[in-house]
């Protein structure tokens, strides 16, 4: 039944991709995805430090209700990132210290909450990755409905069950399973190019001729008058 169902996850990103993307800045990966995908600037890291990375176990729940999140915790495998679309509502917190502690005991990869959390002192002091849209002390309901392992979307970024979800201080990104190989290769090349640019800056040899070329292309005289 749509709106009230628990499905089996059919695919899961390979661990080698989880490990490879763990060394790549999210910004570089985003650039290699044409800057067209993002988890929204509202969702920020609530933990002290540490990267997020792992296969998505998706949850779609009614704003303010976390019944299906509890069930997802029972279904999740080590390394999984529980990605929750709760409509971005901030009225009620969907997870807090107890659920985060349980997730840590299950060796999960983290939480992505398109909604609110609480117990931020505990979460903010640790390194277990938690991204959320906001904070409130008001607790959740546990009545449903909801869905598990269905496609969800956060600010236009679609996440399918098993896709790779990554995050650092700059924000979140979903890498589709079928695109992971090509995106990984492109992001590695971009990192190498940026390293060369940093070397040029340090040596005082940075080529900035592209700036005037771009200005000319749009019809602007680059020479001050």
Beta-strand ranges (E) seen in 35-191 are: 44-45, 52-61, 81-85, 93-95, 110-117, 130-135, 146-148, 152-154, 157-159, 164-168, 171-175
Of 78, 122, 80, the closest CA to residue 100 belongs to: 122
16 is in an annotated binding site: no
Q: What is the pLDDT of residues 3-15, one digit of tens each?
A: 899 999 999 999 9
- Asked whether residue 206 is marked as a ligand-binding residue, the answer is no
Do the annotations mark residue 97 as ligand-binding?
yes
- Under a CB-based contact definition with an 8 Å cutoff, are residues 156 and 41 in contact? no
Q: What's the CA gap between 113 and 68, in Å, rounded? A: 13
Phi, psi (degrees; rounded to nearest 5) at 116: -105, 160
DSSP 65: B
* DSSP at 154: E
pTM: 0.94
Query: What is the Cα–Cα distance from 63 to 113, expressed in whole angstroms?
Result: 11
Residue pLDDT, tens place only, 154-207: 999 999 999 999 999 999 999 999 999 999 999 999 999 999 999 999 999 999
Asked whether residue 119 is marked as a ligand-binding residue, the answer is yes
Is 225 annotated as ligand-binding? no
Confirm or deny that 207 is annotated as ligand binding. no
pLDDT the model gives residue 176: 97
Q: Where are the domains of the chain?
A: 5-177, 185-218
CATH class for the region spanning 5-177: alpha beta
């Amino acid at each position: 039944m749509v709106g009230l169902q628990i499905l089996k996850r059919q695919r899961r990103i390979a661990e080698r991709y989880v490990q490879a993307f763990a060394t790549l800045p999210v910004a570089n990966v985003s650039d290699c995805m044409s800057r067209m995908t993002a988890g929204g600037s509202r969702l920020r890291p609530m933990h002290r430090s540490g990267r997020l990375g792992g296969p998505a176990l998706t949850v779609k729940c009614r704003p303010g209700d976390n019944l299906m999140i509890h069930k997802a915790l029972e279904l999740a495998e080590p390394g999984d990132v529980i990605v929750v679309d709760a409509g971005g509502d901030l009225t009620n917190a969907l997870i807090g210290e107890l659920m985060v502690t349980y997730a840590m005991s299950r060796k999960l990869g983290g939480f992505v909450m398109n909604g609110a959390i609480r117990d931020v002192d505990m979460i903010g002091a640790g390194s277990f990755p938690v991204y959320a849209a906001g904070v409130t002390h008001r607790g959740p309901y546990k009545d449903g409905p909801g869905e598990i392992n269905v496609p969800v979307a956060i600010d236009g970024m679609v996440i399918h069950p098993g896709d790779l979800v990554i995050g650092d201080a700059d924000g979140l990104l979903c890498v589709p399973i079928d695109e992971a190989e090509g995106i990984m290769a492109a992001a590695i090349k971009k990192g190498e190019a940026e390293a060369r640019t940093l070397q040029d800056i340090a040596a005082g040899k940075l080529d900035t001729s592209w700036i005037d070329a771009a200005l000319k292309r749009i019809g602007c005289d680059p020479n001050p008058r």
